Amino acid sequence: MTNSIDPVALGVFVFFFVLVTVMGFVAAKWRKPDTLAHIDEWGLGGRQFGTWITWFLVGGDFYTAYTVIAVPAVVYSIGAYGFFALPYTIIVYPFVFAVMPLIWKVAKDNNYVTAGDVVYGRYGSRSLEAAIAATGVIATMPYIALQLVGMAAVLKALNLAGLFTGFGLSETVAGEVPLVIAFLILALYTYSSGLRAPALIAFVKDIMIYIAVLAAVIIVPAKLGGYGAVFHAAGEALDGKVAASGGKLAAGLVLKPGQVLPYATLALGSALAAFMYPHTLTGIFASNSATTIRKNAVLLPAYTLLLGLLALLGYMGLAAHLKVADKNDVVPALFQAMFPSWFAGFAFAAVAIGALVPAAVMSIGAANLFTRNFWKAYVNPEVTPAGEANVAKITSIGVKLGALVFIVALPTQFALDLQLLGGMWILQTFPAVVFGLFTGWFRAPALLVGWAVGFITGTSLIYADGMKPLHTIVLGDSKVTLYTGLIALAVNVAVALVVNIAVPVGSRVQPAQ
């Protein structure tokens, strides 16, 4: 990566960043309601988004800047294991087709805004509601911070720190200034326009990423001798990494036999967790009908194709013999090495804008949770719709600032570690959110105890395993390695079943129709 500022790349980057900033503020007038002083309008866009807007919005917050940076980085580091994101994004859409229209209908009929609302409406338990809401907020914070990791990678490639070192700032502080400016701008137009801002910007963001990735998967292999040469060179590079580690690194162009089960469970667990996050549920609740959600379950796999192409950039980085100090730099380095400055600037802008859309939706989802399931539940039960909207707006700024402080003050690796926990944590909300849609058999105390035991078990295992998402279970002479989140979910459900049978029967709930 270069150590000087490329004025052409920087100019293209700034142009597109300014464009989406203007769009963010203009979005307040897009499909303008009578007032934005209502959480339905500010936080859910009036629940009026049709098929195409929902497709861009859900795709925009599901396939994030961190996805664009991290998936190729994992493939660059360890090879085939990084492709687990492909099967999980295939598995998840039948689940979306079957379950999400039900949860949308429950939310629409009862004016629910969050998963916490759905759970409280089903079980009437403030404790269970608070547990689900708190898990959503906690799991979302490192996810927002990781959008900053993606943006930081392209800002570093542009060497924007050089613009600020002349003001007497240290290189480290100067490197954070562009990041702070970008997210302050994001905070302002999200405050102004709510969910309409990321929904409108998502059109530009997704088109730009598609252009950048399609250009990369056509032009880069052509420069490297074709895909056969890319895979051959990537395989040799990964074998070299394994040899250099003395066989300790589990890397390769294809999966080893012992990696198949952990790979499969990681994909399954990730699929079950994906639409439990507040930001993905926000996109679902903002849809205008159950039919819109079903259509999107059919159309969204197009993003899986994009993800597969993105992952291939990791192999291309190996084939191009790129040497980067941080594996997250591989995609920016690849664009700098293989493309003219103007297109590298375009690709960097696509990644940076790809951070803004999901970060905005994530902060809105977390703000909705705080407003509905903490502020309204415990602080001011009589809060007006306008008051709810104001609390959500202020909270969304606080969430973004919290994520910003998080990533600036703590090492990047700490954010990555917490993201591993975040996926496991949010998976523990699955029984409380989903089971009540189909059966009234489970009761709140059982689900609450199951959530607590699953949460603690998963956290303990990941911590004991050195912040790795996989855990090895020893059964006599046999060893089985599984995704820790799925192990914790199994414990969660088992405990809930036992407690539900043991605790005297109270009121039952009716499943969603």
Domains of the chain: 7-27+34-502 (1.20.1730.10)
336-393: pLDDT as tens digits: 999 999 999 999 998 888 888 888 888 899 999 999 999 998 999 888 888 888 999 8
In one-letter notation, the amino acid at residue 32 is K
323's CB contacts (< 8 A; 6+ apart) are none
- The H or E element spanning position 483 is strand 478-483
Dist CA 201 CA 23 (whole Å): 7
213-253: pLDDT as tens digits: 899 999 999 999 999 999 999 999 988 888 887 777 778 88
Neighbours of 137 (CB within 10 A): 20
Comparing CA positions, the residue from 100, 198, 206 lying closest to residue 396 is 198
- Structural contact between residues 130 and 377, judged by C-beta atoms closer than 8 angstroms: yes
- Structural contact between residues 283 and 54, judged by C-beta atoms closer than 8 angstroms: yes
DSSP 8-state code for residue 247: T
- Structural contact between residues 102 and 277, judged by C-beta atoms closer than 8 angstroms: no
pLDDT of 416 above 90: no
Comparing CA positions, the residue from 145, 139, 147, 140 lying closest to residue 424 is 139
**Side-chain half-sphere exposure of 276, counting CA atoms within 13 A:** 27
pLDDT band at residue 103, thresholds of 50, 70 and 90? very high
135-193: pLDDT as tens digits: 999 888 888 888 877 888 888 888 776 666 666 666 666 667 777 787 788 888 888 88
Say what the pLDDT of residue 375 is.
93
Dist CA 69 CA 470 (whole Å): 22
428-451: pLDDT as tens digits: 999 999 999 998 889 999 999 999
